[in-house]
Amino acid sequence: MKAVSWQGRQSVQVDTVPDPQILNDRDAIVKITSTAICGSDLHLYNGFVPGMIKGDILGHEFMGEVVEVGRGVGNLKVGDRVVVPFPIACGNCTACQAEAYSLCENSNPNAWMVEPIWGHATAGFFGYSHLAGGYAGGQAEFARVPFADVGPLKVPSNLTDEQVLFLSDIFPTGYMGAEMCNIQRGDVIAVWGAGPVGQFAAKSALMLGAERVIVIDRFEDRLRMAREKVGAETIHYEQANVLEALKELTGGRGPDSVIDAVGMEAHGHGPLYAYDKVAQTTKMTTDRPVALREAILACKNGGTVSVIGVYSGIIDKFPMGAVMNRSLTIKTGQTHVHRYMRPLLDRIERGEIDPSFVVTHTMRLDDAALGYDKFLNKEDGCVKVVLKP
- Rule CB under 5 A: which residues touch Zn ion? 38, 40, 89-90, 93, 96, 104, 106, 169
Does residue 296 contact residue 260 with C-beta atoms inside 8 Å? no
- Measured from the CB atom, the residue of 76 and 90 that comes closer to Zn ion is 90
Nearer to Zn ion among residue 357 and residue 375 (C-beta): 375
Closest by Cα among 108, 123, 130, 135 to 3:
135
Work out how close the CB of 165 gets to Zn ion at its nearest, in angstroms, rounded to a whole number.
Answer: 11
Smallest distance, Å, CB 104 to Zn ion?
3
Whole-angstrom Cα distance, residue 71 to residue 382? 42
- Comparing CB distances to Zn ion, the nearer of 105 and 256 is 105
Q: What DSSP character marks residue 126? A: B
Minimal distance in Å, beta carbon 350 to Zn ion?
Answer: 24
126 or 237, CB closer to Zn ion?
Answer: 126
At its nearest, how many Å lie between Zn ion and the CB of residue 133? 12
Q: Which residue number places its CB atom closest to Zn ion?
A: 38
Query: Do 232 and 190 touch, CB atoms closer than 8 A?
Result: no
Decide whether 29 or 104 has the Cβ nearer to Zn ion. Answer: 104
Q: How far is CA 113 from CA 104, 124, 284, 378, in A?
A: 16, 12, 21, 33
Cβ-count burial 258-277 (b if 16+ within 10 Å, e if not): bbbbbbbbbebeeeeeeebe
> Closest distance between Zn ion and the C-beta of residue 170, in Å?
6
Judged by CB, which is closer to Zn ion: 106, or 257? 106
Give helix 196-207 / helix 170-179 axis angle, nearest 10°.
50
Cα–Cα distance for residue pair 202/258, rounded to 1 Å: 10
Shortest Cβ 105–Zn ion spacing (Å): 5
* Sign, CA torsion 46/52/56/57: negative
Tell me the three state secondary structure of residue 290. helix
